[in-house]
């Protein structure tokens, strides 16, 4: 058996000067073939690297080559010794895969997760402060987001809010009444103006009637008399001229 404890000497039968007296088996001596093969032992689960030693007895040394892995966020690349990953349990692997930065994922509420880089789903315990107002918007408070979303807290109007609301209602009602009165005055003014215009038309109509009643007979029948007079004058002129002849 060669020193690697994995292979036997491939030379033809020859004398060996050293004998392993403790086991009673022949042990390779200086005359034997030296094993130059690489280590063929199985690697630990998850280790993709070959053993750095040539064929050797016993266990392989821990793998110290660096593995590049992605953190839980899938953003940062981490370099970890292979032996640490292959020998770690689930909890240790989660720690080794943590980039120590804040998780970049967005919670259902719209805020960013406050936890450090972690595996799995984000815990929905958003403590981001959000502004909450009372119904009239006067009172403003900052409360945890998760309590607001779960309707565990609310902001109610106080006595001051109610008093301000009452006064605002009175002012609004007074403005509405004033606008109504103004509209009534405008309509009344338009009605009076219309009646005045109507009275003016009636006066003009009466004046025309009075003028028509006071016309003289000549003014009434001049359109008929003028043609008759013209004919009479023409006849007289004809007789005058012909009588002279």
Domain ranges of the chain: 127-157, 161-196
């509209």: which residue's tokens?
A: 183
Judging by beta carbons within 10 Å of its beta carbon (0-12, 13-18, 19+), is residue 96 exposed, middle or buried?
Answer: middle
User: What is d(CA 81, CA 85) in angstroms, rounded to the nearest whole number?
Assistant: 7
3-state secondary structure of 81: strand
User: What is d(CA 66, CA 82) in angstroms, rounded to the nearest whole number?
Assistant: 6
Are the C-beta atoms of 141 and 159 separated by less than 8 Å? no
pLDDT recorded at residue 192: 86
Q: Mind listing the pLDDT tens digit for each residue in 183-241?
A: 999 999 888 888 888 877 766 666 665 555 555 666 666 677 777 777 777 777 777 77
Are the C-beta atoms of 119 and 104 separated by less than 8 Å? no
Which parts of the chain have pLDDT scores under 50?
Answer: 22-24, 244
105's CB contacts (< 8 A; 6+ apart) are: 73, 112, 113, 122
Give the pair of three-digit tokens for residue 46: 């998850």
Q: What percent of the chain has pLDDT over 70?
A: 75
- State phi, psi for 25 to the nearest 5 degrees: -105, 155
Tell whether pTM > 0.75: no
């Amino acid at each position: 058996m060669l020193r690697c404890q994995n292979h036997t000497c491939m030379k033809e039968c020859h004398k060996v000067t050293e004998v392993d007296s403790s086991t009673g088996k022949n042990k390779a001596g200086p005359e034997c073939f030296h094993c130059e093969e690489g280590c063929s032992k199985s690697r630990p689960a998850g280790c993709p690297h070959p053993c750095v030693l040539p064929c050797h007895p016993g266990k392989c040394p821990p793998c110290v080559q660096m593995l590049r892995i992605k953190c839980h966020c899938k953003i940062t690349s981490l370099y970890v010794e292979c032996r640490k990953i292959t020998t770690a349990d689930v909890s240790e692997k989660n720690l080794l895969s943590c980039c120590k930065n804040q998780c970049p994922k967005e919670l259902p509420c719209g805020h960013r997760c406050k936890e450090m880089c972690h595996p799995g789903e984000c815990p929905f315990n958003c403590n981001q402060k959000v502004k909450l107002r009372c119904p009239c918007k006067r009172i403003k408070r900052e409360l945890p987001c998760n309590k607001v979303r779960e309707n565990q807290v609310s902001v109610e109007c106080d006595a001051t809010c109610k008093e301000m609301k009452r006064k605002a209602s009175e002012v609004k009602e007074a403005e509405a009444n004033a606008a109504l009165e103004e509209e009534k005055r405008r309509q009344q003014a338009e009605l009076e103006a219309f009646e005045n215009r109507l009275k003016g038309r009636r006066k003009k109509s009466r004046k025309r009637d009075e003028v028509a009643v006071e016309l003289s007979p000549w003014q009434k029948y001049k359109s008929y008399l003028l043609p008759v007079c013209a004919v009479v004058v023409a006849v007289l002129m004809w007789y005058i001229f012909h009588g002279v002849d």
